[in-house]
């Protein structure tokens, strides 16, 4: 089979779509995570080791692993980063733009090419090939193209890392995009032929390694609260 990234014929690896390290906060003591659906016909079930499928060759898998190792350090406060906080945002500086940006793009692209039901709403169209070429060349591109706005999910003073939601298409400040929830953050990728406004761009990772992460209380995410209430009514929580 052909690797989805380099397009060469190769033995494909069990490639994670959302990196496996982001599932660790979801695991129980048996190394399983709970899968809960709002579909009344589907029962709660368990899975192990994240969501993966045959997708990348060994070389391309290693390429993405470099981005993931760096992103894991950033998301866990590992590198020497600068932080400024106020009540509504955290400003993080000192991020290595190329590595973290390619990590962001790799998750979006993998979700778009995945055949798994969980990622069915991510349909990138002609953007899929544009992203593939950028990732294959390890070219992070301009910060304003396929930018990502990040929100931290706060509940009772803590970042809620033990939540992952199915990605979905959204409208965000007048442009189209996709919303992911993992790692204690809401990630909204702008995937649109229209230019993002200056206000939206202020939330993107800059080429100088600065990003503004907006801090929002869990109760402010109305669709998440609605989903939780639906699951509770169904007796699944």
Greater pLDDT, 195 or 20:
20
pLDDT band at 234 (very low <50, low <70, confident <90, very high): low
8 Å CB contact between 186 and 150: yes
pLDDT, tens digit (0-9, with 9 covering 90-100), for 72-88: 999 988 778 999 988 89
DSSP 11: P
Mean pLDDT of 101-116: 97
CA-nearest of 17, 16, 19 to 183 is: 19
Query: pLDDT averaged over the chain?
Result: 88
8 Å CB contact between 38 and 227: yes
The values of phi and psi at residue 212, to 5°, are -105, 120
What pLDDT does 3 receive? 98
Mean pLDDT of 48-54: 81
What pLDDT does 34 receive? 56
Neighbours of 96 (CB within 10 A): 14
Mean pLDDT of 92-118: 97
Dist. CA 234–CA 5, nearest whole Å: 41
194 SS3 class: coil
Neighbours of 40 (CB within 10 A): 11
pLDDT band at 33 (very low <50, low <70, confident <90, very high): low
CA-nearest of 76, 71, 142 to 100 is: 71
Q: Check residue 91 and give left, alpha or beta (phi > 0: left; psi -120 to 50: alpha).
A: beta
Mean pLDDT of 59-68: 98
Gyration radius of the chain over CA positions = 18
Neighbours of 153 (CB within 10 A): 21
8 Å CB contact between 139 and 109: no
What pLDDT does 236 receive? 44
Dist. CA 119–CA 104, nearest whole Å: 16
Number of H helices, E strands in the chain: 5, 12
What pLDDT does 182 receive? 93
pLDDT, tens digit (0-9, with 9 covering 90-100), for 164-222: 889 999 988 788 999 999 999 999 999 987 788 888 899 999 999 999 999 999 888 77
Mean pLDDT of 227-237: 63
DSSP 34: E
pLDDT band at 23 (very low <50, low <70, confident <90, very high): confident
Greater pLDDT, 28 or 145:
145
pLDDT band at 35 (very low <50, low <70, confident <90, very high): low
- For residue 137, pLDDT over 80 is answered with yes
Write down the domain spans for the chain. 14-233
Mean pLDDT of 103-108: 98
pLDDT band at 36 (very low <50, low <70, confident <90, very high): low
Dist. CA 94–CA 82, nearest whole Å: 6
């Amino acid at each position: 089979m052909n690797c989805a990234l380099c397009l060469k014929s190769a033995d494909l690896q069990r490639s994670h779509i959302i990196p496996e390290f982001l599932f660790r906060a979801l695991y129980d003591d048996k190394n399983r995570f709970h899968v809960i659906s709002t579909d009344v016909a589907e029962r709660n079930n368990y899975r192990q080791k994240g969501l993966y499928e045959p997708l990348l060759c060994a070389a391309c898998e290693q390429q993405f692993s470099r981005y993931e190792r760096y992103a894991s350090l950033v998301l866990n406060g590992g590198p020497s980063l600068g932080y400024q906080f106020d009540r509504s945002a955290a400003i993080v500086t000192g991020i290595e733009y190329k590595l973290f940006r390619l990590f962001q793009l790799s998750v979006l692209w993998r979700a778009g090419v995945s055949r798994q039901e969980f990622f069915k709403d991510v349909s990138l169209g002609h953007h899929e090939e544009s992203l593939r070429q950028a990732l294959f060349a390890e070219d992070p591109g301009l910060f304003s193209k396929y930018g990502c706005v990040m929100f931290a999910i706060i509940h009772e003073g803590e970042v809620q890392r033990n939540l992952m939601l199915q990605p979905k298409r959204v409208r965000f400040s007048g442009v189209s995009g996709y919303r992911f929830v993992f790692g204690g953050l809401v990630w909204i990728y702008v995937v649109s032929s229209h230019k993002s406004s200056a206000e939206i761009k202020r939330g993107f990772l800059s080429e100088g390694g600065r990003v503004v992460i907006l801090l929002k209380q869990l109760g402010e995410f109305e669709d998440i609260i609605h989903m939780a209430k639906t699951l509770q009514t169904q007796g699944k929580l």
